[in-house]
Amino acid sequence: MRLPLFHACNATALCLTLAAGPALAEVPRVVTDIPPVASLAAMVLGDLGAPEVLVAPGASAHGASLKPSQARALEAADVVVWIGPELTPGIARQIEALAEGAQRLTLADLPETRVLPFRDGGLEPHDHDDDDHAEDKERDDHAEDDHAGEDHADDDHTGEMHGEDTHLDPHLWLDPENATVWLSAIATALSAQDPENAQTYDANAKAGAARIAEATETARSALDPVRDRPLAVTHDALQYYEAAFGLRVVGALTDGDDTAPGAQRLDALRALYAETAPVCALADPGTSPRLMHAVGLDTIPQAEIDPLGSALPQGAPLYPALLGDIANRIAACASQ
């Protein structure tokens, strides 16, 4: 009669070899900040592992804090992949303190990342009149010229936006070009920790880039019929998506940091919407109906847009699905 393996192991030292199996490379333990970044990391890891995510689906990135289990995950992390403190100030100090020995990949700081300035006021966001904003626009136009794969390492706007006194719009993941750049950067970071699987990480990153390119073209086709129609947003979090797909947003209820609007801002929005009537309001989940009513956005078609894709399947499929989900919601709303 054939003995079970655990009995055989009691009888011979050969069990040590049988139990351990072939020597395997140590796959890095990866911690990410938000679900879309976790999706990119999951694409690169493939079947080798799964990243931990600190901002759970449905939670606010701007006000995120850590649970004890997440703090332990940070302490054990080999690689931390995150946008940067501009998006998640609540966990920036914990990353600094708890992941002291980990390799930190701050995506906003990569020279190839396209960054845009924080839009104070959210009114007529692409029409800046003062000198400083004119310079920002000139830098953005320069970035747009290089956007189709050129090296951004020498672009002036990248370094200036990363200064301590500048206001960086942190919703960088909504530009699919940034996501593609980050796949390669994540693969490089993982390969530095795990050289034996470097080819796998590189191949996975390239496959992920192809998936994102396909999703981008599909989203672009969906948005083409409504590209010139004026839109309103409740939270100025879609600037990168607007720029990537050529959308027209005329005003936002709240700034990129989701600060509640005051009476002066509401008056300005009412005047703006009277002059250029939006055909659709793009609302964050949980937007106050009272604020929508205050500026008349409750009288036009609305679409709920979640930049984090909380209701979508999580993991590697999330990021391509997010691009398409936003496009389909905007197209359906703006075409009514």
Tens-place pLDDT, residues 89-132: 888 989 999 998 999 999 999 999 999 998 865 555 443 333 33
pLDDT above 50 (res 3): no
pLDDT above 70 (res 282): yes
pLDDT above 90 (res 142): no
Residue type at 61 in one-letter notation = A
Cα–Cα dist 214/71, whole Å: 36
Mark 104-143 as b/e (b = at least 16 C-beta within 10 Å): bbbbbebebbbbbbbbeebbebeebeeeeeeebeebbeeb
Mark 50-77 as b/e (b = at least 16 C-beta within 10 Å): bbbbbbebebebbebebeeebbebbeeb
Instruction: State residue 90's pLDDT score.
Output: 83
Cα–Cα dist 88/35, whole Å: 13
Instruction: State residue 31's pLDDT score.
Output: 97
Average pLDDT over residues 153-165: 40
| Helix, strand, coil % over all residues of the chain, rounded to 5 | 50, 10, 40
CA distances to 19, 68, 188, 285, 308 from 99, rounded to whole Å, are 32, 14, 19, 31, 24
Average pLDDT over residues 230-239: 93
Q: What is the CA radius of gyration of the chain?
A: 23
Instruction: Return the DSSP state at 314.
Output: P
Instruction: Return the DSSP state at 259.
Output: P
If one counts every other C-beta atom within 10 angstroms of the C-beta of residue 268, the result is 18
